[in-house]
Structure 1
Amino acid sequence: MSSKILNVGLIGFGLSGRYFHSPFLTTNPNFKLKTVVERSKNEAQEFDPNIENARSVDELLSDPEIDLVFICTPNDTHFPYAMDALENGKHVVIEKPFSATTEEAKQLIAVAKEKGLILTAYQNRRWDSDFLTIKKLIEEDKLGDIVEYECRYDRFRPVVPTESWKEKSVPVGGNLYNLGPHLIDQALVLFGEPETVTAEIRSVRPNSEIDDYFDVRLGYADKLVIVKSSLMVYENFLRYNLHGTKGSFIKGGLDPQEETLRQNILPTQKPWGHEPENRWGTLYSEAFSGVVESEAGDYAPFYQNVYDAIVNGAELAVKPEEILRTCRVIDLAKESSESKAVLKF
């Protein structure tokens, strides 16, 4: 195994760069978080004085020492920044959404393949406590054959005056692009490509400038898969409803890693990623009915996998073909919502 250390550059230092990526990159000895692009602020140095600043994307990408770039900027910049990074010979991790369309995703993947570079999407929610728990229950056949799966990610966020682009009518904006990639990716990891996609996407909050509600339904021959999100759900504890031929599993609450990271606690603190008991789900079946302790969540394997793919030739955990199918579902969901039609995948 190689002892090579990868120099990393972050483009952007908002929630994603500061609270998701930096803690895991700085605590993994295989990485050195060398440079962060901040046009005027110096918040990266507040996190770690050893991090350098770049005042532009070009400045970062022109640094020959940078091996790997994380793109943590507004959604409409993901494609051009990723393309620039690849053209400059950098490996790339793109925050969700990976791109605005499937065609853009194909272009990026083609360039990465041509140049022999690693390109992947930040699908950290595959390592959430709740998702790992459901995955284990399905693999252990505790629910039998799944006939209905529903995953929700709701929030209660009334519209208030803000300059945040996330609440503005901007290109590649809205809740489907924000939370949709995670929920869709999880469903596809569990069940593979659907036969059909049906969706309703709309604004439900007074004075909302964005689509803040989506209901995407993936049709399979033997099951219905529903992923939903609304920003106007006051009681938003519910997360998963699974019904199978042997039983049901119902679970609420969110994986605790984000809230822990926001408290400036590093992932080296153990135990890590353990959900409080009031978030554990309940299994209902003839064999067993009762509370099921959640698996511990941990985003660290995502980063280690990226390193192993770059340095040791390992297979990516989040593969290009998986990225493309998530992008295609989003494309079809938008088209379905506009046309009020059931579309073939």
Structure 2
Amino acid sequence: MSTKILNVGLIGFGLSGRYFHAPFLAVNPRFRLKKVVERSKNEAQDFDPSIENARSVDELLSDKSIDVVFICTPNDTHFAYAQEALENGKHVVIEKPFANTEAEARQLVELAAQKKLIITGYQNRRWDSDFLTIQKLMADDTMGEIVEFESRYDRYRPVAQTNTWKEQSGDGGGNLYNLGPHLVDQALVLFGPPAAVSAEVKTLREGSLIDDFFAIRLHYPDKSVLVKSSLLVYDNSFRYILHGTKGSYLKTGLDVQEETLRQNVLPDASPWGEEPEDRWGKLSTDAYSGIHKSLPGNYMPFYDNIYDAIVLGKELAVKPEEVLRTTRVIDLAWQSSRERVILAF
């Protein structure tokens, strides 16, 4: 096992930087969160006084000791910051969306390959409790061949929140770019590339400046796959429906890690990522029908894999080609919604 410690730079310290990345990096001995870009605030130092401050992206990237950069900024900046980080010889992890178009994503992947650097997207939802549970049920053939899969990630925000960049129009704005990458990635992990894509992308809330609803159908010859998200769902507890040739699985409630991290609990706490019983899914088969205990979620394997890929040359868990296919689906979803057509993948 290597004793090397990777120095990390975070660009941005909002929700993603503060509550997702910083806690996991802080308790993982193979990383040192060395420097954070905050243009005027000092919230990183409130989290950990040993973290250094950078007032600009250029200041952080000029630090030759930084090995890997996590980009946690508004969506319209991801491509430019990632490109600049790669040009400065840094490995790169990009918050979703990885890029706003497949063409931009491909440019970054090709540049990283030229520079012999690691680049990946932050797909932490692969390590959610519910998704790990679904993968285990499928691996065990508990439900047989899956013939219908529906996944939702809804919220109730009836009034557009004008005080956040996520509710502003512009490049990378809107719900499809915000939550779409997670839902699409999970479906592609389970079922692989589709034959075709069709979608509805809409603005449902009065006064909204963004798309706040999407429904993407991934077309496969042997199953129905639908991923949806809306910001106007009062009862937003529903997450998954799976029907197979041997049974069904229905799931409500979100993985607990985000809410735990927001309570300033670090991910070295024990137990970690265990769902309360009222969030466990319902499994129905000939062998058993009833509540099925969820596996614990844990995002730490994502970070361990980043280390192993950079230091030990191991394969990325979230591979560049997987990032590219997710951005392609989102591109096709936009086009399908505009043109009201089904598009070949």
Moved >3 Å (runs of 4+) = none
Counterpart for residue 267 of structure 1: 267
Counterpart for residue 317 of structure 2: 317
Q: Any idea what SS the aligned residue of 1:329 has? A: helix
- Give the Cα separation in 1 of the matches to 2:164 and 2:170: 11
Counterpart for residue 342 of structure 1: 342
**What does residue range 51-90 of structure 1 map to in structure 2 within 5 Å?**
51-90=51-90
- Give the Cα separation in 2 of the matches to 1:170 and 1:74: 11
1:56-86 Cα distance to aligned partner (Å, 9 max, x none) = 0000000000000000000010000000000
Counting matched residue pairs gives 345
**What does residue range 1-345 of structure 1 map to in structure 2 within 5 Å?**
1-160=1-160, 162-345=162-345
- Give the Cα separation in 1 of the matches to 2:172 and 2:103: 14
1:141-179 Cα distance to aligned partner (Å, 9 max, x none) = 011111110000000012245321111112110000000
- Give the Cα separation in 2 of the matches to 1:331 and 1:98: 13
- Give the Cα separation in 1 of the matches to 2:275 and 2:204: 31
Q: What percent identity do the matched residue pairs reach?
A: 69
1:272-301 Cα distance to aligned partner (Å, 9 max, x none) = 000010000001111211110000000000
Q: Any idea what SS the aligned residue of 1:179 has? A: helix
- Give the Cα separation in 1 of the matches to 2:263 and 2:163: 24
- Give the Cα separation in 2 of the matches to 1:104 and 1:9: 22
Code of the residue aligned with 1:50 in structure 2: it is S
Q: Is the 8 A contact 2:198 2:343 kept in 1?
A: yes
- Give the Cα separation in 1 of the matches to 2:26 and 2:322: 28
1:206, distance to aligned residue in structure 2 (A): 1.6
Q: Is the 8 A contact 2:71 2:93 kept in 1?
A: yes
Q: Any idea what SS the aligned residue of 2:190 has? A: helix
Coordinate RMSD, CA, aligned: 0.6
Question: What is the TM-score with the length of structure 2 in the denominator?
Answer: 0.99
1:15-58 Cα distance to aligned partner (Å, 9 max, x none) = 00000000000100000000000000000000000000000000
User: What stretches of structure 2 of length at least 5 have no aligned partner?
Assistant: none
1:178-220 Cα distance to aligned partner (Å, 9 max, x none) = 0000000000000000001010000111211100000000010
User: What stretches of structure 1 of length at least 5 have no aligned partner?
Assistant: none
Q: Any idea what SS the aligned residue of 1:143 has? A: coil
Code of the residue aligned with 1:292 in structure 2: it is H
1:325-345 Cα distance to aligned partner (Å, 9 max, x none) = 000000000000000001110
- Give the Cα separation in 2 of the matches to 1:224 and 1:310: 38
User: Cα gap change, 1:88/1:276 in structure 2, threshold over 3 Å: closer, same or farther?
Assistant: same
1:228-254 Cα distance to aligned partner (Å, 9 max, x none) = 000000001110000011111000000
Code of the residue aligned with 1:280 in structure 2: it is W
- Give the Cα separation in 2 of the matches to 1:227 and 1:290: 25
- Give the Cα separation in 2 of the matches to 1:77 and 1:163: 18
